[in-house]
Amino acid sequence: MNNALEKNSSAVRKRIEGHVFDDEEGEEYEGSEFNGFGDYFRRKKIKLQNLDADMRAASDKPPIFKGVVAHVNGYTQPPLQVLHRDIVQHGGGFLQYLDSKTMATHIITATLTPKKAIEFSRYRIVKPAWVVDSIKAGKLLPWSDYRVLGESPSQKVLKFDSDRGLTQSSPTARRGYKEQTENSFYTSQIKAEAQRNIATQLTEKSPLSNRWQNDRSGELLQSTEETRASAPDERYATGNAGDEELKDEPMDLEDQLVPLSTGPTDLSKIPPKNMTSEEHNAWLLSDPKIRKSSTANPDFLKQFYSESRLHHLSTWKANLKSSMQRLAAEKGLSNRKVKSRPGSRKYIMHVDFDSFFCTVSLKSHPEYLDKPSVVAHSTGAGSEIASCNYVARKYGVKNGMWMKRALELCPDLKVLPYDFPAYEEVSRQFYDAILGLGGIVQSVSVDEALVDATDVVFAAAESHGIGVEEGSIWREQQKVDEIALALRNKIKENTDCAVSVGIGANILQAKVALRKAKPDGQFQLRPEQVMEVIGDLKVEELPGVAYSIGGKLEELGVKLVKDLRDTPKDRLVTLLGPKTSDKLHDYARGIDRTEVGEQPPRKSVSAEVNWGIRFINQTEAEEFVYNLSKELEKRLVNEQVKGKHLTVKIMRRALDAPLDPVKHLGHGKCDSFNKSAAFGVATHDYEIIGKEAVSILRSFRFSPGDLRGIGVQMTKLEPIKLNPLAVEGSQRKIAFAPFVEPVPSKQQSRTELTDVPEERNGLPDNPITPQKFRVGQDDKKATAHINVSSTQFLLPSSPDPAVLAELPSDIRTRLMAQRPKTAATELQMETPKPRPQSPVLADFLSSQVDLEVFNALPDDMKAEVLALYGRNPTGPLPRGSPDRPEAARARKPATPTKPSGSRNTLDQISRRRDAQEGVIQTNFRKPVPIAEAQPEQIEELDPEFLAELPEDVRREVIADHRRRLLALQSGLEMPVLRNNQSGNPLPGGQKMIQFPMLPPVISFSGSITSTSEIKDMVDAWHAQTRKAGPHKRDVDVLERYLVKVIKEEMDLTKAVALIKWLGVVVDQDGVDSRGRRAWKLAVSGIKAAMQAAVEERGLAPLQI
Provide the residue ranges of all domains of the chain, joining segments of one domain with +.
Answer: 3-183, 332-351+427-525, 526-599, 604-719, 788-892+904-986, 1011-1096
Burial class of residue 272 (count of CB atoms within 10 Å of its CB; 0-12, 13-18, 19+): exposed
Confidence of residue 989 (pLDDT cuts 50, 70, 90): low
- Which of these ranges, 650-654, 768-772, 796-800, has the smallest mean pLDDT? 768-772
State residue 207's pLDDT score: 37
CA 401/CA 388 separation, integer angstroms: 10
| Ligand-binding site membership of 27 (annotated) | no
pLDDT in tens, 64-103: 998 899 999 988 888 889 999 999 999 999 998 888 888 8
DSSP structure class, residue 1046: I
Three-class SS string for 498-544?
CEEEEEECCHHHHHHHHHHHCCCCEEECCHHHHHHHHHCCEHHHCCC
Q: What is the structure's pLDDT at 159?
A: 54
Give the tens place of pLDDT for each residue, 540-570: 889 888 778 888 888 888 889 999 998 888 8
- Separation CA 712–CA 626 (nearest Å): 10
Q: What is the CATH number of domain 604-719?
A: 3.30.1490.100
Helix (H, G, I), strand (E, B) or coil at 713: strand
Distance CA 521, CA 485 (A): 9
pLDDT given for residue 152 in this prediction: 44
Please give the pLDDT value at position 867.
Answer: 66
Distance CA(146)–CA(140), nearest Å, equals 12
Q: Which of 746, 757, 758 is nearest to 782 (CA)?
A: 746
pLDDT confidence of 461, banded at 50, 70, 90? confident
How many Å apart are CA 533 and CA 590, to the nearest integer? 9
Q: Is the pLDDT of residue 164 over 80?
A: no
Q: Is there a cis peptide before residue 128, judged by omega within 30 degrees of 0? A: no
Question: Please, which pLDDT band fits residue 1021 given cuts at 50, 70 and 90?
Answer: confident
Question: 24 Cβ partners below 8 Å, 6+ apart?
Answer: none
Over its C-alpha atoms, the chain yields an Rg (Å, rounded) of: 48
The conformational region for residue 833 under phi > 0 = left, psi -120 to 50 = alpha, else beta, is beta
Q: Is a pLDDT exceeding 50 seen at residue 797?
A: no
- State how far the Cα of 426 lies from the Cα of 494, in Å rounded to an integer: 8
Q: What percent of the chain has pLDDT over 90?
A: 23
**pLDDT for 656-686, tens place per residue?**
888 888 888 888 899 999 999 999 899 999 9
Q: In this predicted structure, what is the pLDDT of residue 802?
A: 60
| Cα–Cα dist 301/278, whole Å | 21
* pLDDT tens digits, 1036-1086: 888 888 888 888 888 888 888 888 888 888 887 766 778 888 888 888 899
Q: What is the pLDDT of residues 928-968, one digit of tens each?
A: 444 444 444 566 777 777 777 777 788 888 888 887 777 76
Residue 447 counted as an annotated binding residue:
yes
Q: How many Å apart are CA 90 and CA 110, to the nearest integer? A: 21
Architecture of domain 1011-1096: Up-down Bundle (1.20)
φ, ψ for residue 235, nearest 5 deg:
-135, 10
CATH class of 3-183: alpha beta
CATH code of the domain occupying 526-599: 1.10.150.20
> Rounded to an integer, what distance in angstroms lies between the CA atom of residue 683 and that of residue 632?
11
CA atoms within 13 A on the CB side of 180: 19
The response to whether 352 counts as a known ligand-binding position is: yes
Question: Which CATH number does 332-351+427-525 carry?
Answer: 3.30.70.270
pLDDT band of 150, cuts 50, 70, 90: low
Residue type, 633: E
CB count within 10 Å of CB 18 equals 8
Mind listing the pLDDT tens digit for each residue in 246-295? Answer: 333 344 333 333 333 333 444 456 677 778 888 888 888 888 888 887 88
CA atoms within 13 A on the CB side of 557: 6
* Average pLDDT value for residue range 984-996: 63
Q: Is the pLDDT confidence value at 212 over 70? A: no
- Give backbone dihedrals phi and psi of 47, rounded to 5 degrees, phi first: -65, -40
Q: What is the pLDDT of residue 222?
A: 34
In three-state secondary structure terms, 235 is coil
Catalytic residues: 448
